[in-house]
Amino acid sequence: MPFAVVLMGLSVLLMLTGVLPVRGGGQDAVFLSPVLAFILALLGLSTFACAVRRRVSLRGIGFHLTHFSVVLIMIGALVGVIFEKKFDCRLQRNAAKPLQKIQMGDGSIVDLGFGLSLSAFRLEKYPPNLVVRCGEDEEVEHRLVEGSEISVSGEMVKITRVVPRAAISDVKLAGTPELVVGDEPSPLARISIDGDQPSEMALPDGSTLFIARVYNNLPTMQMGHQFRETSFPSRPGIIAHVIASNSMAIIALEADKPAKLLSPSDPALAPEFPTLRYTFPDILSLAIEPSEDPAAPFVAELLMADGIRQFLIEGGGRFGSYQAGEDSVLTLGRAQDRRYEADLQITRHGEAPLETTLVINKPLDIARWRLYLNSYDAKAHEHITITLRNDPGDTAVVIGLLGLMIGTALIFFLPKRKSS
């Protein structure tokens, strides 16, 4: 008995070192250490020896059941550590062929025993909050409820319409976007940027400007970045190449902001060019309609105190905020996920395809595998990431836990032999 208590104390201390935060991380390696495995093995053998040395009787059935169940749990956990298979994989919607074989990091191939494909994806979100910012520090959040009214700078603002998934179209501008060359108030040139086709022009200093692309929503320029442009100008801008003196610079110009040098990484290697600024006119009107696109943003229509109707678009850049009065700004926060689920098709050789649904936080058991829905493509909703887990020791662990609960109950409720 004292030996088992010492072993339990040592194992608990080692496990604590694996859960307490440590600078740099890596503390969870203790769970795979041979020291912990050796201590747990001794504890399992000690528990088993304690159980078999005691005579079996009806009154002592709870004692034996709990001890043998603990040993069974340890055996199941050991089998899981040695033989468990667990990995993440991506499922593309409407892929050409189902996922059936997966190549592991060590080059081995794992055959699932069935084909897995994604046929549909659905997402529900909580409405974002309407945020009123007063100055730099004060911020008040209001629930986005259609028909409700809030006070902003002493004036009432009414939320007249909330569209959970909105398609924005027919954007009408007050003028034509321009590329301003040189400093205000006397720039060297103003060049109209009409359309999104590539164009080339000569700058007044003799250098050449090649506009590679005009964006409604200027992307983050990163290697391998997958970008899905919005249908409305949330971050309007252009990507341009400036060529002069046998050298070239690639710049990003967001509307009304300084140019950002993308290439070369060393500014000293870039050619000299005049100040460039991209101006974008005010938006006169736009059309908003409900959409079936799960990636479409929330839109709130507000009726201001002066009778003007204003739209706020979730993540909408210049549409995402509105100056109300001198010191208050209205913004629409980010909508948080409420629930998402994926329709999967399971195919087996010689059997009809099986349609099933995988829901977040609700694992799905298929053959020997347990499937977990992890994440999804937030931009286009074209793929999901799932975790597949196959642990042959799970059954032993579950049986051991049930036996431990039943044995503990029997210890408490079976009558004890009275001592003289």
Rounded-to-integer distance, Cα 34 and Cα 289, Å: 62
pLDDT computed for residue 226 by the predictor: 47
Q: Is pLDDT above 90 for 358?
A: yes
Mean pLDDT of 208-233: 67
Structure tokens at 64: 């034996």
What pLDDT, on the 0 to 100 scale, is given for residue 372?
94
Q: Are β-strands 260-263 and 247-254 bridged in parallel, bridged antiparallel, or unpaired?
A: antiparallel
Band (pLDDT 50/70/90 cuts) for residue 371 is: very high
Nearest to 269 by CA among 233, 307, 242: 242
Q: What share of the chain is helix, strand, coil (3-state, %, to 5)?
A: 20, 40, 35
* Interval 281-338: pLDDT, tens: 877 777 888 888 777 888 888 888 888 788 888 876 667 777 776 778 888 888 888 9
How much is the CA Rg of the chain, to the nearest whole Å? 32
One-letter identity of residue 208: T
- pLDDT at position 400 is 92
Average pLDDT (133-139) is 75
Neighbouring-strand partners of residue 248: 243
Q: How many other β-carbons are positioned within 10 Å of the β-carbon of residue 260? A: 13
Which residues have CB under 8 Å from 40's CB, separation 6+? 11, 74
State which H helix or E strand residue 81 sits in: helix 61-83
pLDDT at 416: 66
**Mean pLDDT over each residue of the chain, to the nearest integer:** 83
Would you mind telling me the total number of residues written for the chain in this entry?
Answer: 420
Q: Residue type for 48, please?
A: F
Mean pLDDT, rounded, for 75-101: 87
Between CA 323 and CA 150 the distance in angstroms is 15
In this structure, what token pair is assigned to residue 127? 């409405």
The H-or-E segment that residue 212 falls in is strand 208-215
Domain range list for the chain: 2-84+394-413, 87-124+337-390, 127-171+283-332, 175-279
Q: Tokens 């108030």 belong to which residue? A: 185
Q: How far is CA 390 from CA 75, 76, 273, 357, 399, in A?
A: 16, 13, 60, 19, 17
* pLDDT value of residue 224: 42
pLDDT value of position 1 = 60
14 dihedral zone (left: phi>0; alpha: psi -120 to 50; beta)? alpha
pLDDT tops 50 at residue 120:
yes
Grade residue 341 by pLDDT with cuts at 50, 70 and 90: very high
Per-residue model confidence (pLDDT) at position 223:
40
Q: Which amino acid is located at 266 in the chain? A: D
Give the C-alpha separation, 312 to 298, whole Å.
8
Q: What is the pTM of this model?
A: 0.66
The rounded distance, in Å, linking the Cα atoms of 123 and 406 is 41
pLDDT at 152 over 50: yes
- If we measure between CA atoms, which residue out of 205, 106, 153 comes closest to residue 324? 153
With a CB cutoff of 8 Å and minimum separation 6, the contacts of 393 are 75, 76, 77, 78, 79, 80, 81, 83, 84
For the segment 389-397, the average pLDDT, to the nearest whole number, is: 90
Hey, which bits of 265-353 come out as E strands? 276-279, 283-290, 299-303, 309-313, 321-324, 328-332, 337-347
Residue 53 in tokens: 């040395």
Cβ partners under 8 Å of residue 119, min gap 6: 93, 94, 343, 344, 345, 355
Mean pLDDT value of segment 391-409: 91
Tens of pLDDT along 42-54?
888 888 888 888 8
Compute the half-sphere exposure of residue 414: CA atoms within 13 Å on the CB side of its CA: 15
Give the pLDDT of residue 367: 84
**Dist. CA 319–CA 311, nearest whole Å:** 7
Residue 18 has pLDDT above 80, yes or no: no
Spatial distance between the Cα atoms of 263 and 270, rounded to a whole number of angstroms: 8
Q: What are phi and psi of 175, to 5 degrees?
A: -170, -160
Q: What is the largest CA-CA distance in the chain?
A: 111
Residue 371: name the closest of 69, 114, 162, 161 by CA.
114
